[in-house]
């Protein structure tokens, strides 16, 4: 998991509060429906397509990663399971999605997706027998087992059998081909195929989107956004996190398990935040982001705060049922120097975050490389803020598998934390709550609860005292 930052040779910081030059604002991004489908030549040989700019950026940094960058999940399946039918369902889904049967090689200096024929897609082997006491360790070992990106597909399903009618399905997808939303889509389609449901082919494959993105880059359509990020991230530094167990960010450090704690906002505070957003002609997300950046500044003493901001991309046009690494991210940077008033902070965050999200199309890793800070994307990605609708949505793995087979998340082996700290603010017209997700080797639960209390206090200050100054 990664994010970004930049510096010129002189190391001078670009102003964060100045209005960006309107001439550098990119034009509207074409709708995904305009992405054309590439021709697929008939024949027995594998298909070859250009990788996307984002895949190229991730590939370039693989050698420096302490562990394989993967998206993982595990489901406990209870009831009568037909392992052969599950393998057939996996092959069926892989037949619909080229990226599940692809490996990657560098050809003539460019990263290339090599797609095997549907009949050549690997299928899960027979279940491995494990004792219930060994299942958590077996799941963890499967997550750690490295892929060979140049030789094998970058998606696998491993089935463990704890006893009669008691299995654990472990899903491991390399970040070159998937994000967390892709994992959820894969499990949903696999369950449908297992129970014999109708197969819905995606309108586009990820290779189609990758070719479209490469064409836009070759046409210079991303040059203006690249220049924007070179200016915007010049001189940025990673946020100093308020850890209390062990320092994050050390080279080669192995992340601990991830844990999430959810806290409802008191109804009165939720209403105040919504009112403050209306006064500032902003969204609740903007007010929440401003409070989070103030929180980090309070604990660290920093006054230049950068956090990762995920960009929702799935669900539009031909991407609705596309498997691939569609997640994007921007860096959201706030300048808190000069004792700004709380209301001024909200106004600044509203303005700068809108511009940041408007320039989301450019992968930030190559931009950071231009500034000779290649690890800054990874370092800035250690802290994240996101916001979304109030409902949590369907539980992961809650798709129906048919018959008496039931699925639930296998919680005995929590996945490694994607980053040391992230905050998700969920809200609707009636209520809001925040979810702190953290690395248990970096933060104690007591520290997270303390951060929650301070965050709620800052939300109240932003709403009640917009003219008070942050010092």
CA quadruple 443, 444, 445, 451: dihedral sign: negative
Q: pLDDT at position 28, please?
A: 47
Judge whether residue 174 has pLDDT over 80: yes
H or E segment to which residue 259 belongs: strand 258-264
Residue 377: both structure tokens together: 């994307």
pLDDT tens digits for range 274-309:
999 999 999 999 999 999 999 999 999 999 999 999
Q: How far apart are CA 250 and CA 420, in angstroms?
A: 12
Residue 318: the pLDDT is 60
Strand 110-115 and strand 47-50: the pairing is: antiparallel
| Residue 156 · residue 52 · CB < 8 Å | no
Could you give the C-alpha distances from 286 to 336, 339, 463, in angstroms and in order?
15, 19, 12
pLDDT beyond 80 at 406 = yes
Distance CA 266, CA 383 (A): 25
Can you read off the two tokens belonging to residue 7?
């510096």
Per-residue pLDDT at 32 exceeds 70: no
Average pLDDT, rounded, for the chain? 86
Predicted model pTM = 0.84
For domain 221-392+414-464, give the CATH superfamily.
Nonribosomal peptide synthetase, condensation domain (3.30.559.30)
Task: Report the percent of the chain where pLDDT is more than 70.
Answer: 88
Instruction: Evaluate if residue 371 carries a pLDDT over 80.
Output: yes
How far apart CA 357 and CA 65 sit, in angstroms, is 27
Please choose, from the candidates 323, 425, 393, the residue with its C-alpha nearest in 3D space to the C-alpha of residue 71.
323
Those residues with Cβ within 8 angstroms of residue 436's Cβ, 6 or more apart along the chain or in another chain = 260, 261, 263, 421, 422, 423, 448, 451, 452
Strand order across the beta sheet in which 155-163 lies: 128-129, 155-163, 166-174, 70-78, 406-409
Q: How far apart are CA 211 and CA 128, in angstroms?
A: 40
> Using an 8 Å Cβ cutoff, are 256 and 427 in contact?
no
Q: What is the pLDDT of residues 61-99, one digit of tens each?
A: 887 776 778 999 999 999 999 999 999 999 999 999 999
d(CA 343, CA 461): 10
Assess contact for 427 and 390: CB atoms under 8 A. Answer: yes
Res. 405: pLDDT tops 70: yes
pLDDT tens column, 252-279 = 667 888 899 999 999 999 999 999 999 9
- State yes or no: pLDDT of 360 exceeds 70: yes
At 215-226, the pLDDT tens digits run 999 988 889 999
Q: How many Cα atoms within 13 Å fall on the side-chain side of residue 365?
A: 16
What Å distances lie between residue 437 and 68, 101, 257, 416, 464, CA to CA? 21, 32, 10, 11, 28
The continuous run of DSSP H or E covering 298 comes out as: helix 284-300
Residue 251: pLDDT band (50, 70, 90) is low
Cα(235)–Cα(251) distance, rounded to whole angstroms? 21
Per-domain boundaries in the chain: 42-209, 221-392+414-464
The CA radius of gyration of the chain, in Å to the nearest whole number, is 23
Structure-token match 């002609």, residue found? 281
73 strand-pairing partners:
171
Between CA 266 and CA 180 the distance in angstroms is 30
Is 221-392+414-464 in the same CATH topology as 42-209? Answer: yes
What DSSP character marks residue 43? S
Q: What letter does residue 132 receive in the DSSP assignment?
A: G
Amino acid 328: pLDDT: 86
* pLDDT number for residue 361: 87
Give 426-462 pLDDT, tens digit per residue.
988 778 899 999 999 999 999 999 999 999 999 999 9
Please tell me the predicted confidence (pLDDT) of residue 290: 97
What was the pLDDT predicted at 237?
A: 93
- Sheet arrangement for strand 304-311: 258-264, 432-439, 421-427, 383-389, 304-311, 328-335
User: Could you report the per-residue pLDDT of 326-348, keeping only the tens digit for each?
Assistant: 988 999 999 999 999 999 999 99
User: 119 falls in which pLDDT band (50, 70, 90)?
Assistant: confident
Residue 8 has pLDDT above 60, yes or no: no
Give me the pLDDT at residue 25, please: 42
8-state DSSP, 24: G
Do 52 and 111 touch, CB atoms closer than 8 A?
Answer: no
Architecture of domain 42-209: 2-Layer Sandwich (3.30)
DSSP H helical ranges for 133-264: 135-144, 180-194, 206-218, 223-232
User: How confident is the model over 103-114, as pLDDT tens digits?
Assistant: 999 999 999 999
Copy the structure tokens of residue 141.
């070992």
% of the chain residues with pLDDT over 90: 64
Encoding tokens for residue 4? 């970004």
Is residue 409 within 8 A of residue 260, CB to CB? The reply is: no
């Amino acid at each position: 998991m990664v994010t970004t930052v930049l510096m010129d040779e002189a190391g001078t910081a670009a102003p964060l509060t100045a209005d960006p030059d309107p001439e550098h604002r990119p034009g509207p991004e074409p709708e995904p429906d305009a992405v054309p489908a590439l021709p697929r030549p008939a024949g027995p040989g594998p298909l070859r397509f250009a990788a996307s700019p984002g895949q190229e950026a991730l590939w370039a940094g693989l050698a420096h990663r302490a562990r394989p960058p993967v998206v993982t999940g595990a489901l406990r399946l209870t009831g009568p399971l037909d392992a052969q039918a599950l393998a057939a369902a996996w092959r069926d889904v892989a037949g619909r999605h080229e990226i599940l049967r692809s490996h990657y090689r560098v050809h003539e200096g460019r990263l290339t997706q090599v797609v095997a024929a549907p009949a050549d897609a690997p299928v899960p082997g027979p279940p491995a027998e494990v004792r219930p006491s060994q299942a958590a360790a077996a799941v963890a070992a499967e997550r750690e087992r490295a892929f060979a990106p140049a030789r094998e597909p970058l998606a696998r399903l491993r089935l463990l059998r704890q006893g009669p009618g008691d299995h654990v399905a472990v899903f491991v997808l390399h970040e070159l081909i998937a994000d967390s939303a892709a994992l959820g889509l894969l499990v949903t389609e696999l369950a449908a195929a297992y129970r014999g449901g109708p197969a819905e082919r995606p309108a586009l494959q990820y290779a189609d989107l990758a070719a479209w993105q490469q064409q836009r880059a070759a046409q210079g359509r991303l040059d203006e956004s690249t220049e924007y990020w070179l200016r915007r991230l010049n001189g940025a530094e990673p946020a100093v996190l308020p850890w209390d167990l062990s320092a994050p960010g050390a080279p080669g450090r192995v992340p601990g398990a991830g844990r999430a704690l959810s806290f409802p906002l008191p109804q009165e505070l939720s209403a105040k935040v919504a009112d403050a957003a209306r006064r500032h002609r902003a969204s609740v997300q903007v007010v929440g982001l401003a409070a989070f950046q103030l929180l980090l500044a309070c604990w660290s003493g920093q006054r230049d705060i950068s956090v990762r901001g995920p960009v929702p991309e799935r669900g539009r046009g031909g991407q609705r049922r596309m498997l691939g690494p569609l997640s994007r991210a921007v860096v959201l940077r706030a300048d808190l120097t000069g004792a700004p008033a709380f209301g001024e902070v909200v106004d600044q965050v509203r303005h700068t975050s809108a511009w940041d999200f408007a320039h989301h199309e450019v992968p930030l890793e190559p931009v950071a490389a231009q500034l000779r800070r290649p690890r800054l994307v990874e370092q800035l990605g250690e802290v994240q803020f996101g916001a979304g609708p109030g409902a949590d949505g369907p539980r992961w793995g809650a798709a129906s598998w048919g018959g008496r087979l039931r699925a639930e998340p296998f919680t005995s082996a929590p996945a490694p934390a994607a980053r040391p700290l992230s905050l998700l603010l969920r809200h609707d017209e009636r209520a809001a709550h925040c979810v702190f997700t953290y690395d248990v080797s970096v933060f104690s639960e007591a520290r997270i609860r303390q951060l929650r209390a301070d965050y709620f206090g800052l939300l109240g200050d932003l709403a009640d005292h917009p003219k008070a100054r942050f010092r």
